[in-house]
């Protein structure tokens, strides 16, 4: 990226200088640039850079592959952990809902039992109120000797 920027800047500067100085100066700059490019030292540096890139490309590619695999494994682990946490939260919510539902059912059952108990108390009280008075005052006394039953 830096090389591209340097090249573009150099080309821009060359254009500006060429435009100001005229065609002769432009040709001179072009010739100098061509001479520098064709200089054996520059070409040797380019060749060395190309060879280094060719030698290191497999190593760099392997390291990039290893990094990608490691990154993918970490991503899988993170996703699995996130999935497990989500499942746990969902189970907690499910349990909480079931518990709340059970509590409501218990409350309803208690209220119903209380109402039924009140009904049973009222019915029992009614039966007590409607029951005839005890005519046998002493179980040892004969029924014929007791007398008539009380009237209401």
End-to-end distance of the chain based on CA atoms, in angstroms?
A: 117
Q: Is residue 105 part of a domain?
A: yes
Q: Which domain holds residue 92?
A: 11-125
Position 60 in a domain: yes
Say if 32 falls within a structural domain.
yes
Whether 138 is covered by a domain: the verdict is no
Over residues 87-129, the pLDDT tens digits come to: 889 888 888 888 888 888 888 888 988 998 898 888 888 877 7
Length of the chain in residues, anyone? 152
Question: Alpha-carbon distance 123 to 5, whole Å?
Answer: 101
* Domain tally, the chain: 1
What is the C-alpha radius of gyration for the chain, rounded to an integer number of angstroms?
52
Average pLDDT, the chain: 81
Residue 55 in domain: yes
Confidence band, pLDDT 50/70/90 cuts, at residue 21 = low
Phi, psi of 147 (to 5 degrees): 105, -175
d(CA 81, CA 87): 10
Residue 96 lies in a domain: yes
Residue 1, in any domain of the structure: no
The confidence score (pLDDT) of residue 151 equals: 65
State mean pLDDT over 124-149. Answer: 68
pLDDT at 134 over 60: no
pLDDT bucket at 131, cuts 50 / 70 / 90:
low
**Does 146 reside within a domain?**
no
């Amino acid at each position: 990226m830096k090389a591209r920027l340097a090249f573009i800047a150099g080309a821009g500067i060359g254009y500006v200088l060429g435009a100001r100085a005229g065609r002769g100066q432009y040709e001179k700059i072009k010739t100098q640039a061509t001479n520098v490019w064709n200089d054996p030292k520059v070409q040797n540096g380019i060749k060395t850079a190309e060879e280094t890139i060719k030698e290191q490309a497999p190593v760099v590619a392997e390291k990039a592959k290893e990094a990608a695999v490691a990154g993918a494994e970490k991503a899988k682990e993170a996703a699995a952990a996130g999935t497990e946490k989500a499942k746990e939260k969902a189970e907690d919510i499910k349990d909480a809902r079931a518990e709340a539902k059970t509590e409501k059912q218990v409350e309803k059952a208690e209220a119903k039992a209380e109402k039924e108990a009140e009904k049973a108390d009222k019915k029992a009280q009614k039966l007590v109120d409607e029951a005839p008075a005890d005519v046998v005052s002493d179980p040892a006394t004969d029924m014929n000797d007791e007398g008539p039953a009380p009237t209401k």
